[in-house]
Structure 1
């Protein structure tokens, strides 16, 4: 009989193919051959109570636009997400301690953030907008236009500090943006300044008699924040963002939360495609 053969104690003849198959099976059984690597797990921090980007639902589950987007992005790279929720200050502490790999919300690319994080290419446009009552025809294009007016802002925010410095006591601070918008709907204040995506989500959700004017500022530079020391992860995520934003999955996520494709800039509720 031609070919390589091994004679067993009982006189059985083992051909090369059967011998190789048996040998490989023994190697797997003994753990000598490495199993396929499990998907990488990234520890992703999300800002708690940051509607509609990341928040806990009544049943305790984490939800939000950023949550869905980051999960889809990591899945496209064969990675899994281990979510951690906390206030932003606590997330910074966790990042410094090496207990999270990245922040799953798009953060402003400020110097204080760049010192701790490497930023990923943005996947959504966001800008500061002025919200007015739907029957208000006035134009508010700068803080100077609010002199003598009651302006609603989010309490303990950078916007509040800037507005109070320019306008003083006429600025009204609110703990939550939806409270400011509700007050505006009742005409208790003249306008609200807030991020465009937050405003658009809340107006759609609550059905208030309000409108969004022209952007108060240019789109803000922001992006996912990877803890410094992992440039390969930052590069891989940035390279994957364009593919994600062109995908039907991202358009579905974006439409579910905001009603349009937020990867494209929007002016006065008109997307770039509609201009």
Structure 2
């Protein structure tokens, strides 16, 4: 058996190592082919984020994102396979290939796009005012809130938003139940939270409050997956478009949020 000189062998090994990063992406199978071969779409979510994804009283995984994930898998002809994991490690798990997608209200930021590809946006969310159910004052803009008391969760993005409203008195609370109670009793004039959470919070607390005007900038959430799978991206985007076209998306959305959350909230 013929052998190569040691120096030549070492040179070839180094050359191969240098080429490996270039060749690997080209040799990797598209994620769509992998999912079709196994017959499943592996979906990650927190499982502790109601009403988006959580376990009901029977221990079954449910919520808006769970139903959207199941519907997407069906459109792709695949069986949904869910994994629940803490938010702190959910993106790292995707990068490590533990699952195919995350359906968990992930904002498609520029920083995240450096590591992952994303579907088209499937949710549009706004910061939104919460006011008393019998409120008759005009509380639609930042100018309307000057001199008003606004309740927000301590340390939340909404606390920072409220602090930027000139002339407003910002009061922070441990969570939504506390500031909604003060809102209902007239101790504050308005509160701010995510537009998607307001119907859920109102139903849970059963307090006489309602959604007010959208305030601040909208955010779009999308579905991340590994880079380099153009067929998979096309399939996911087509599946989302199909759910919207046949009315399935709107039906799921209105069940959880009282409106189609793929669209901006209607003006009030």
**2:162 maps to which residue?**
163
Cα drift, residue 70 of structure 1 = 1.3
Q: Counterparts of 1:152 and 1:64 in 2: how far apart (Å)? A: 27
With over 3 angstroms needed to count, the CA separation of the structure-2 counterparts of 1:182 and 1:70, relative to structure 1, is: farther
Residues 12-161 of structure 1 mapped to structure 2, 5 A cutoff: 40-143=39-142, 146-161=145-160
CA contact (8 A) 1:105 1:225 kept: no
With over 3 angstroms needed to count, the CA separation of the structure-2 counterparts of 1:260 and 1:164, relative to structure 1, is: closer
SS at match of 1:267: coil
SS at match of 1:256: helix
**1:226 maps to which residue?**
225
Consecutive unaligned residues of structure 2, counting only runs of 5 or more, are: 1-35
**2:176 maps to which residue?**
177
**Which TM-score applies when normalising by structure 1?**
0.71
1:30-67: per-residue Cα shift (whole Å, max 9, x none)? xxxxxxx7653233221343221111223322110111
Moved more, 139-148 or 125-134: 139-148
RMSD (Å) for aligned C-alpha atoms: 2.9
Cα drift, residue 180 of structure 1 = 3.2
Cα drift, residue 268 of structure 1 = 4.3
Q: Counterparts of 2:143 and 2:250 in 1: how far apart (Å)? A: 38
With over 3 angstroms needed to count, the CA separation of the structure-2 counterparts of 1:143 and 1:84, relative to structure 1, is: farther
Q: Counterparts of 1:94 and 1:216 in 2: how far apart (Å)? A: 34
* Number of residue pairs matched by the alignment: 233
Q: Counterparts of 1:49 and 1:178 in 2: how far apart (Å)? A: 18
**Which TM-score applies when normalising by structure 2?**
0.73
SS at match of 1:112: helix
Q: Counterparts of 2:105 and 2:49 in 1: how far apart (Å)? A: 11
**1:16 maps to which residue?**
none
Higher relative contact order (CA 8 A, sep 6+): 2
CA contact (8 A) 1:255 1:261 kept: yes
Moved more, 69-78 or 220-229: 220-229
CA contact (8 A) 1:127 1:216 kept: yes
**1:212 maps to which residue?**
211
Q: Counterparts of 1:151 and 1:89 in 2: how far apart (Å)? A: 30
Q: Counterparts of 1:247 and 1:106 in 2: how far apart (Å)? A: 22
